Chains A and B, each alone.
Chain A
Amino acid sequence: MFARARSWLDDRLGLSTITEFASHKTVPVHRYSVFYYLGGMTLFFFLVQVCTGVMLMLYYRPSANEAFESVEFIMTVVPFGWLIRSIHSWSANLMVFFAVAHMVSVFFMKAYRAPRELTWASGALLLFLIMGFGFSGYLLPWNQLAFFATKVGTDIAGVVPVVGPWMVRFLRGGDRVAGGTLSRFYGWHVALLPAITTVILVVHLALVQVKGMSVPAPCEEESKRRPPMKFFPHFALRDLSGWIFALGVLAALAALFPWELGEKADLFAPAYENIRPEWYFVFMFQTLKLVPGGEIAGIEYEAIPIMLFGAAGLLLVLIPFLDRGAQRTGRSKGWTLGGVAALLFALGMTCWGYASLLPLYVVLISGLLLSLLAFITRGSRNPEGR
């Protein structure tokens, strides 16, 4: 009976082509193989976002008069509402973290070499989409933090030459951040961005499946020596156990540190002390804080870092087409050093941005301890000294 149903479906859907493909798929094994799990982890958090997001939509009301109260209702009255919303917030942060970690590892392993340029470009677009999700979702609880973050974030678009003022009005749905902005952000957060993300995500995953995992140049010999792992079931099961672990971590974080709601947005109140955006925007926030007021040749100083960040985003997408060295030999010291510099800049600025909460010496000492730990574990994991 089951076999007949299977063959009936197979005739119509061609399932055997997929299972045939999956049964042959392997994952190379070498000392950096662990980084292959980061993308799957990001996917897991994305799926959690879809599920919890759909659930929150059952009670959330996207209007300036009701948004805050409806989230309050979810947090205090709806059974397990606090859990669902806290998981949605925590998972959002972890998704950004793993997406960035995935990108950083792919960058340093030069996995964007031919024929995987479009896998990288689609991944970079997905990272921007995730940040778009983060930014648009941030406004939805309609609290003070959301209000100011959106005021600043949309005002930044104004520095773009020629179309800037139009973009600000387009983003805000008017001249100011108000109820109209909330309607737009809600629509983007639950409809437009998910639709675009789904398409690009499918392309990204299909490319990963078709092209397989890239082996970093320094590991080529090692991965020839060690037998590859079968994707199904060995790699998939490892992925799955990671996902179950992640679900446990999410539940624990949501239960121990439920996401706070803050105070309802007041369009006529000053920004409160120590206001700052989510951690993944802090490096840009801190940079903007450091640039003094003034203008040069009709361009305000603040526009310069904003345009540089925009250019850096474009550069990120185009890396595979610009890094000629990696394309030829699999190695490119200049790009590696550039990546390290960019990472140090972002990390440094982020720490600086939080320095008003933590004394600077705590940040410095913990940084020192972490690098020491990294140095020691590197030595022990690599006894041949390679």
Chain B
Amino acid sequence: MDGSTPLPRRRFLNWFLGTSFGALVAAVIYPIARFASPPRIPEATTNSVEAGDVSDAAFAQKGFKIVRFGAEPVILLKASEGEYRAFSATCTHLDCIVGYQKDRSRIFCNCHGGAYDLNGRNVSGPPPRPLTAYKVNLVAKGSEPAKIVVSKV
């Protein structure tokens, strides 16, 4: 090969080997990275759940209970006689599950001390956003205690 060639053989080979090696590394890393990222599993969308009836002992004892809304926890609390409210129970700060403090009538997160009022508004502590509200319907059937139905707004 004479010196006038624009790309000498050695440089070409180095470039060729280098890119091949790079491609090999990418071909190994890509499936590993994809394997390690969890696949998205479609979840059945829940629009409403039946959450027991108003005679549940939890309301008399603690004034609230946590309801399974699909995979999400929802807090169902008795604000006053015959008045029930439901909010997402996932604290907007760092994902803990909130509870209801009956004596101070507020929703409280024990992890970092975030507090919400009975409308789900973040009123003190670290939470940056209010809790998402859910709709509560009481379905009365004859003389039996009314059933509570929680549904998305």
Binding site for B on A (CB under 8 A): 148, 151-152, 154-156, 166, 169-170, 172-174, 176, 180, 267-275, 285, 288-295, 300-302
B36 pairs with A170, CB closer than 8 A: yes
A170 pairs with B38, CB closer than 8 A: yes
Q: Taking CB as reference atom, which chain A residue is nearest B98?
A: A270
Known A-B contacts A170-B37, A176-B71; the reply to A302 vs B94 at CB < 8 A is: yes
Instruction: Note all chain A residues with C-beta closer than 8 A to B114.
Output: 293
Give Cα distance in the complex from A268 to B73, angstroms. Answer: 6
Give Cα distance in the complex from A285 to B111, angstroms. Answer: 9
Question: Separation in Å of the A138 CB from the closest CB of chain B?
Answer: 15
Q: Taking CB as reference atom, which chain A residue is nearest B95?
A: A155
| Other-chain contact of A268, B92, B97, B125 (Cβ < 8 Å) | B97
**Residue B8 is within 8 A (CB to CB) of chain A in the complex:** no
Binding site for A on B (CB under 8 A): 36-38, 41, 66-68, 71, 73, 75, 89, 92-99, 109-114, 122, 124-129
Q: Show 29 residue pairs from A and B whose CB-CB distance is below 8 angstroms, ordered by the A residue.
A: A148-B97, A148-B111, A152-B95, A154-B95, A172-B38, A173-B38, A174-B38, A176-B71, A267-B73, A270-B66, A270-B109, A270-B110, A271-B96, A271-B97, A274-B110, A285-B112, A288-B94, A288-B112, A289-B126, A290-B126, A292-B126, A293-B92, A293-B93, A293-B128, A295-B128, A300-B128, A301-B126, A302-B93, A302-B126
Instruction: Note all chain B residues with C-beta closer than 8 A to A294.
Output: 128
Would you call the interface of chain B mostly helix, strand, loop, or mixed? loop
Given A269-B66, A288-B94, 8 more contacts at CB 8 Å? A169-B37, A173-B38, A271-B97, A272-B110, A273-B110, A275-B111, A289-B125, A292-B125
Question: Separation in Å of the A193 CB from the closest CB of chain B?
Answer: 15
B109 pairs with A271, CB closer than 8 A: yes
Q: Taking CB as reference atom, which chain B residue is nearest A153?
A: B94
Q: Which 8 A-B pairs rank lowest in CB-CB distance, beginning with the nearest?
A: A270-B99, A155-B95, A293-B128, A271-B110, A289-B112, A152-B94, A155-B94, A151-B95
Question: Separation in Å of the B97 CB from the closest CB of chain A?
Answer: 5
Known A-B contacts A173-B38, A267-B73; the reply to A156 vs B110 at CB < 8 A is: no
Give Cα distance in the complex from A288 to B114, angstroms. Answer: 11
Instruction: Note all chain B residues with C-beta closer than 8 A to A288.
Output: 94, 112, 126
Give Cα distance in the complex from A18 to B97, angstroms. Answer: 57
Q: Taking CB as reference atom, which chain A residue is nearest B69?
A: A268
Give Cα distance in the complex from A273 to B128, angstroms. Answer: 21
Question: Separation in Å of the A296 CB from the closest CB of chain B?
Answer: 11
Q: Taking CB as reference atom, which chain A residue is nearest B114?
A: A293
Q: Taking CB as reference atom, which chain B residue is nearest A177?
A: B95
Most central of B94, B96, B98 by chain A CB within 10 Å: B94
Q: Taking CB as reference atom, which chain B residue is nearest A306?
A: B94
Question: Separation in Å of the A264 CB from the closest CB of chain B?
Answer: 15
| Other-chain contact of A271, B67, B111, B126, B127 (Cβ < 8 Å) | B111
Known A-B contacts A170-B37, A269-B66, A270-B98; the reply to A152 vs B111 at CB < 8 A is: yes
Q: Taking CB as reference atom, which chain A residue is nearest B108?
A: A270
Most central of A170, A172, A270, A295 by chain B CB within 10 Å: A270
Question: Separation in Å of the B93 CB from the closest CB of chain A?
Answer: 7
Question: Separation in Å of the B49 CB from the closest CB of chain A?
Answer: 12
Give Cα distance in the complex from A267 to B111, angstroms. Answer: 15
A270 pairs with B97, CB closer than 8 A: yes
Instruction: Note all chain A residues with C-beta closer than 8 A to B75.
Output: 270
Known A-B contacts A166-B37, A293-B122; the reply to A156 vs B94 at CB < 8 A is: yes
Q: Taking CB as reference atom, which chain A residue is nearest B97?
A: A270
| Other-chain contact of A291, B36, B73, B110, B126 (Cβ < 8 Å) | B126
Most central of B75, B92, B95 by chain A CB within 10 Å: B95
Question: Separation in Å of the A269 CB from the closest CB of chain B?
Answer: 6
Give Cα distance in the complex from A268 to B38, angstroms. Answer: 23
Give Cα distance in the complex from A154 to B94, angstroms. Answer: 9
Give Cα distance in the complex from A148 to B127, angstroms. Answer: 16
Instruction: Note all chain A residues with C-beta closer than 8 A to B68.
Output: 268
Question: Separation in Å of the A309 CB from the closest CB of chain B?
Answer: 14
Question: Separation in Å of the B34 CB from the closest CB of chain A?
Answer: 11
B99 pairs with A169, CB closer than 8 A: no
Give Cα distance in the complex from A293 to B130, angstroms. Answer: 10
Instruction: Note all chain A residues with C-beta closer than 8 A to B113.
Output: 289
Instruction: Note all chain B residues with C-beta closer than 8 A to A292.
Output: 124-126
Instruction: Note all chain A residues with C-beta closer than 8 A to B89.
Output: 270
Question: Separation in Å of the A166 CB from the closest CB of chain B?
Answer: 7
Known A-B contacts A174-B41, A289-B113; the reply to A148 vs B128 at CB < 8 A is: no
